Structure 1
């Protein structure tokens, strides 16, 4: 690198056009790049407006537009907004010492918002590190330049020839020079080999047409901008080329010479070939090469530095010859270039910039050696680049782990949204979501996010067969500088794990009802629990009078004998057969995952059951009646309706509401069905009639059903069996929507009869 450094001297003199200021440290960077001065100014140092001026013995000259191109100066902003100047050693206003040392006084002029200008002068000095080649061609971004040796050429160098018959010159010096341009006859130049015609011009006229023609101690020079008046375009291997075919006639030591100063530069743009940037050059540029072509060499460079073959391979650059064209492929984002990020219509995009140049050297029949140097800054703009999401979730550790990237320096993570909760970096760490930036050797970076399956923001779903799916829904919000544009990248991570322990239920019969013990399992929030068809919630617990006892891994619940959720399978003198069923349904799919049923038999003395099909079951106990009553001698209002079963002091009846003397009356919107269980002492069975004297034992029974509506099972248990006139209901198994919670209220309005459903 030592041989590329430039001597930079700050001139603290006062210049006539503006004030000078001291040089800020780190704002300027200068180098000598083989045949060019190179100067860069940091973007943060640039004013409201700015320009470059140069100064020589004739004064200060402003560099801009066409004049800058014709004089050999190229200026522009790089991908990071830095101002870059590249000037040819043979440019205008450069002090040239025998073509071996060069000096240029450059002034950066900053203008502030109020229009005041401040100048920062720099004296650039560069030595010539490599000898000049017989012919050197430069294809800059905004101009073309060729220089050739002035010395009498050897016999094998036909590009510099003696004139066979020197013409008569009117005067000595530079003004005698002539330029012969070769232009297409049709003035189009779009065919591969156009027919040409000659146009000879004095140097002064060529200058007026934008051609800079000059001479140094050892070289003759021609330079012009692209699109000059006498240039033409042609196609070489489907590659567009702009060319200037010219010959300079000049005098050297009283000898008239002719120098070929033709130029040809490719003007095609780079394109994308998969993930590579493709740049094509013709192997043979017809205006410059006279076959046969020999000893051809090709070298690549980036930002003025020539790369070795090893570096080219390491960076992934690829150079191949294909069908007469040299194809250079450079991976998008490869080392040596710079990436800038943008958000275009919500899509993350990247632009890639690479300050590429390539050097070709060859021998042909015309020149002993030609060096061809082409500066081709590559720019691929707004290429959509969806970030890559790498899922490194570790199921065995129960850890979600994901990497999103990679991003250049102008992108940083603004916040993260997990399950609709937006969090800044620090807040995410506090909530158990780990974030980290992962750097890469090429200067890019990615973002790592980790959190455990058990995190509250991770959703869970049961899949069956003991599997559950952990889902982490997140959104990365990335900010792109300097505009602070936001890009949102949503992602959903899933992990299916067979780790579900289903709930487990134990049941037992107690004196107060049915006892259920529910062990939670590992997904208690996944299930909707139903008890006898009723969803288990606090309202049901309170309404049913369930007794609860809670532990860390289970809870127990006692369902009262006549509580909500209990089903009744049968009634006999041996007892009331009841079942309590508990089912578990998936909250999302409503699919039944497991069920449990506990059956119990409870001994009862008295009971009244109203069935939906108009059947009534009545169990009566006469143990408290004095004198004692024989149960087998009791009957309903119809003496033929006798017990279906008796034992001790108990009797069991089963009859239909439209039989056994049952009386139906309409009260409001209900039908009241009434009957009696009674006993006539000392009366033969056949003598019992409706007109017999009052019985010794009489208990009213009955049911109440709605006139319109569904009839349901209803069970009542007397608290105390009264001889007459009524029997009090204990509890109802079913209650219609809209009725009062206490079933006794309905019963007390119906002459003491139990209220049915």
Structure 2
């Protein structure tokens, strides 16, 4: 039966089945909506009954009900009341629906049984033919027990004079002998002449259905197939077959959520489980943001399905703490961050796709509020710092020296910075603001750069990243905060033919190089020694010295009339940053400052100063107001103090003249 182009169409289908086993002399079937008995008969009886069906007045059937008078009718009348009498394959068949007026409901060992007793007889001449047709079927509806079992009961011998011989059970037409059934979790036991069958709810062949009635419920249907073989005293076999649809009531089936989050992983891991096979997940709402199936996994949010042997399935939801849909609440007082994820699952029951919802809320507290950590590595031209940004990094700021790192600061100091919101990349080229230089030799030196991370609210430094890398340079000048000038100078044009850089000295002939090779020399000295000249002008204190060659060290034949290079070195300190200006004992400044190496014979590119704060040198120095002091001649005062608050040049000059009185 079906539909074709909107019209109902009926198709003929014929199916013939043969029993797997030979018929027993008596076959009793208790179907879901009728009872039947098939009995082997003699040929004469079969012939007579066939004739009776052609002339129904020959045979009579009598129904006997306990405590009542028997009811007698011919076969035609019985047929109109729903009874069936037939002859097939050498057997007489009697079939009746349940609940007929002639049937009887009794209790056998507390088991409800429906019984119908029919006697079929005929008198022909001097021969009387009679057969008793008795059917008894258990009407037990089954009961669902805690632990997931369906129980069904039937009398061990529903017919008098029979002894039970064998029991087989199964579901949905599949029959198993008792040992096999028990190996699959069935329980078959006899108690007080009653057979009790216990079926596990997960037995193969059972059917389950989900239903939504305010909440998720389920019920199970077990199409029980049971066969009892009994024998009488003459060893005549009776086979009783039961076909029963056992149905549980509505059973609540709660969907569970298991919070499997490990806070240290910074990922919400939520398991939605024990979902029946006929229920599907079709949607997710995460803090109000809707996602629908099929789900597309991302780096911060993914959904995975798990299928279980018991035909249930589950879904695992993973959401990073850093995902935009996660709510973050920072507690300054407790120094913790609370992450909240509200999940609304949308599920549907197939095949009707009836939706229902499961809501759950999850909270994770992050107590390890560590400041961001940089990775640092060396390059040929400087030091590179890299930071993988996290959602909480806005709580801190990156600082170089005392200034927050911004795009303007990077442009001002010549840093190369890129920031795409996920990664921060900062390259500090060599000789830019913030470097510290140590272990300076002719072969090379170490450059160190340090960046800090501080709390935005308190401005307290929380951590720092320091990186030291080896570098090389042809020329170099370092003006340190403690007043040391370190110079690596190319003297290839400053030394006459026949001379060597090791024979050079500063204005004070006693100050020679610490190291020298064929073309270069390294000097390191306090700025106020070795004959340095101190000049004050335009807000700066400049220490100047010169690298000279002693002609007396040349061979007699050497011609020194050739114009040789004069190498001048300078360190200029801003007066505003200078705390103390000593000509003898001590020197102290806020920052490293600008240094310069000048070649007179052949101009070379000045080396960039290694400074923490880039302070450009003043324009061409003016001689007006300058004070020149030969540092080798010590003044009578202990130090010269430069006040940055003295903005008037005339006042500055008067102040310095008073302080350095007695200088040559």
1:124 and 2:15 matched: yes
Asked whether 1:386 is paired with 2:386, we answer: no
What SS is found at the alignment partner of 2:181?
helix
1:374/1:385 Cα in 2 relative to 1: closer, same or farther (>3 Å)? same
Q: Within 2, Cα distance between the matches of 1:403 and 1:313?
A: 35
Is 1:423 paired with 2:271? Answer: no
Q: Which residue of 1 aligns with 2:160?
A: 290
Counterpart of 2:105? 233
User: Paired residue for 1:413?
Assistant: 281
Q: 2:229·2:240 contact (CA, 8 Å) conserved in 1?
A: yes
Q: Is there any run of 5+ residues in structure 2 with no aligned partner, and where?
A: 46-50, 373-388, 397-423, 425-450, 461-664
Check conservation: 1:280, 1:325, Cα contact below 8 A: no
Give the match for residue 75 of structure 2.
203
Q: In the alignment, what sits opposite 2:437?
A: none
Give 1:181's aligned residue.
63
In structure 1, which of residues 321, 327, 335 is the aligned counterpart of residue 204 of structure 2?
335
User: 1:445–1:557: structure 2 CA closer, same or farther, 3 Å change rule?
Assistant: closer
2:32 to 130, 141, 144: 141
- 1:215 corresponds to: 87
Could you report, residue by residue, the CA deviation over 1:543-589 in whole angstroms, capped at 9, with x for unpaired residues? Answer: xxxxxxx9884256899xxxxxxxxxxxxxxxxxxxx9xxxxxxxxx
Gaps of at least 5 residues in structure 1 are: 1-108, 154-159, 161-168, 186-195, 504-519, 528-549, 560-579, 581-757
Whole-Å Cα distance in 2 between the matches of residues 282 and 232 of structure 1? 16
Residue of structure 2 equivalent to 1:326: 195
Match of 1:206, SS state, is helix
- Within 5 Å, which residues of 2 pair with 1:252-331? 256-284=128-156, 288-291=158-161, 293-309=162-178, 312-313=181-182, 315-331=184-200
Going from structure 1 to structure 2, the CA distance change for 1:118 and 1:374 (only over 3 Å counts) comes to same
Conservation of the 8 A alpha-carbon contact between 2:261 and 2:268: yes
Deviations 1:677-704 (A, max 9, x none): xxxxxxxxxxxxxxxxxxxxxxxxxxxx
Structure 2 residue matching 1:205: 3-state secondary structure: helix
1:243 aligns with 2:135: no
Q: Distance in 1 between matches of 2:395 and 2:114?
A: 73
* Match of residue 306 from structure 2: 438
Deviation at 1:372, TM superposition (A): 1.0
For 1:156-195, what aligned pairs fall within 5 Å after superposition?
Answer: 175-185=57-67
Q: Which residue of 1 aligns with 2:659?
A: none
Question: Is the contact made by 2:111 and 2:155 (CA closer than 8 Å) also made in structure 1?
Answer: no
1:402 and 2:294 correspond: no
In structure 2, the partner of 1:499 is: 368
2-side partners of 1:171 and 1:272: how far apart?
Answer: 46
Cα deviation for residue 414 of structure 1 reads: 0.8
What's the offset of the Cα at 1:137? 0.9
Alignment partner of 1:127: what SS?
A: coil
**How high is the TM-score relative to the length of structure 1?**
0.44
C-alpha distance 182-462 of structure 1, shift in aligned 2 (>3 A): farther
Q: CA deviation at 1:253?
A: 13
Match of 1:375 among 243, 267, 271: 243
Aligned to 2:647: none
| TM-score, normalisation: structure 2 | 0.50
Report how far residue 139 of structure 1 moved: 1.2
Structure 2 CA distance for partners of 1:198 and 1:365, relative to 1, 3 Å: farther
CA contact (8 A) 1:289 1:366 kept: no
Q: Deviations over 1:592-622 (max 9, x none)?
A: xxxxxxxxxxxxxxxxxxxxxxxxxxxxxxx
Aligned length: 389
Q: 1:133 to 1:334 in 2, by over 3 A?
A: same
Per-residue CA deviation, residues 261-287 of structure 1 (Å, 9 max, x unaligned), is 1112233323321243533323245xx
CA contact (8 A) 1:500 1:522 kept: no
Q: How far is the alpha carbon of 1:360 from its aligned partner?
A: 1.4
1:360 and 1:409 map into 2 onto residues whose CA distance is 34
Question: 1:604-642 deviations in whole A, cap 9, x for unaligned?
Answer: xxxxxxxxxxxxxxxxxxxxxxxxxxxxxxxxxxxxxxx
- Give the match's secondary structure for 1:204: helix
C-alpha distance in 2, partners of 1:274/1:366?
43
Per-residue deviation at 1:389? 3.1
Q: 1:555 to 1:295 in 2, by over 3 A?
A: closer
Match among 221, 235, 251 for residue 353 of structure 1: 221
RMSD value over aligned CA atoms? 4.5
Q: Which residue does the alignment assign to 2:469?
A: none
Structure 2 CA distance for aligned equivalents of residues 411 and 555 of structure 1: 50
- Kindly state the Cα deviation for residue 111 of structure 1 after the two structures are TM-superposed: 5.3
Q: 1:318 to 1:396 in 2, by over 3 A?
A: farther
Look up the SS of the partner of 1:184 in the other structure.
coil
Distance 1:449 1:252 in 2: 83
SS in 1 for 2:37: strand
Structure 1 Cα separation of the partners of residues 127 and 263 of structure 2 = 87
C-alpha distance in 2 between matches for 1:230 and 1:366: 30
The 8 Å contact of residues 150 and 201 in structure 2, kept in 1 or not, is answered as: no
Tell me, in whole angstroms, the C-alpha distance in 1 between the residues paired with 2:156 and 2:394. 76
Partner of 1:23: none
Offset of 1:305 from its aligned partner? 1.7
